[in-house]
Amino acid sequence: MQRARIRWHIPVFLAPAVLVYTTIMIFPLFNTLRLALYSKVDQERIYVGLDNFRTLFFDPFWSEQFWNALGNNFWFFIVHMLVQNPIGVALAAILSHPRLRFAALYRSAIFIPTILSFVIVGFAWKLILSPIWGIAPSMLDFVGLKSLFAPWLGKEEYALTTLALISVWQFVGIPMMLIYAALLSIPDEILEAGEVDGITGLSAFWKIKLPLILPSIGIISILTFVGNFNAFDLVYAAQGALAGPDFSTDILGTFMYRTFFGFQLQLGDPHMGSAIASGMFAIILIGVCIYLFGIQTRMRRYQM
């Protein structure tokens, strides 16, 4: 019997990607996890086991900041799920309407903010909402609703929601595009068959299209989850590393940044920073696993 030939072309073609991915992704990831198990005492790095995590979760000072950041992160995510994704679906449904004029123009206009840098978005919205030079107060004044204006980014109770809505404004184009593509892939025959059975208009959307695009909505939810729990840029650009006012916009990303690199007189602590980064990694991993094993496998798929 002839021995199976080693198929050399497989490792050869895999090698470049595996090497690059290992050096710039896998190695740093595991090194970060390892760094979280050390601490610096008297200029020397020593192994401390899970001590950093004990500090993070049980020391009152650290745990208060951690839970605050985690809670803010969940609120950030909830706002995206409740506002960004439904609006994205609705926009896609409107755009895919065959008789809508200038659909391409609307599509581009809504998608453009997505390609802007966070710094530009943060700065532009800070100016728009500025109580001194912003156009938001004058526009509200114009329609006689000046009393509704508040310095939203400077108030503990509104700042995080305001930032979440700015982020929604920036990223609503992504769910819109994905759903739009999914809607276009629904064959006309199915809709026509529905029409024959008397299902038209809105009920066609709820009864035929929505079940068919549910898998796409699932993907969008998980992308939103990962994106939100990794978020950092917008808060940093708009509110700075201290995520004011009074840490009300502090999310895991800014908390990690402040701890890892230090801020003003606070010196950086790479070990505690790594512990927070490991925590973020674990949270995202758990979230993705719940989705993959708990939701995606049970989702009903229809052959189209």
Q: Note the residues at the interface with another protein (CB under 8 A).
A: 61-62, 126, 129-133, 137, 149-156, 239-240, 242, 244-247, 263-267, 269
ω into 245 cis (within 30 of 0): yes
Nearer to another protein, 158 or 205 (CB): 158
CB of 98 to another protein, least distance (A): 45
Q: Report which DSSP code applies to 190.
A: H
Reported in sequence order, the residue ranges of 49-125 that DSSP labels E, i.e. its strands, are: none
| Residue placing its CB nearer to another protein in the complex, 229 or 247 | 247
What length is written for the chain?
304
Q: How far, CA to CA in Å, does 54 sit from each of 41, 63, 276?
A: 17, 9, 11
Q: Which is nearer to another protein, 122 or 173 (CB)?
A: 122
Residue with token string 């892939």: 185
As measured in angstroms, the least distance from the Cβ of 155 to another protein is: 6
Closest C-alpha to 35, from 252, 255, 272, 230: 272
Least distance (Å) between residue 41 CB and another protein: 14
Nearer to another protein, 173 or 253 (CB): 253
At position 303, the amino acid (one-letter code) is: Q
Question: Which one, 224 or 248, has the nearer CB to another protein?
Answer: 248
Smallest distance from another protein to CB 52, Å:
12
Q: How far is the CB of 245 from another protein (least distance, A)?
A: 6
Decide: helix, strand or coil at residue 43: coil
Amino acid at 286: I
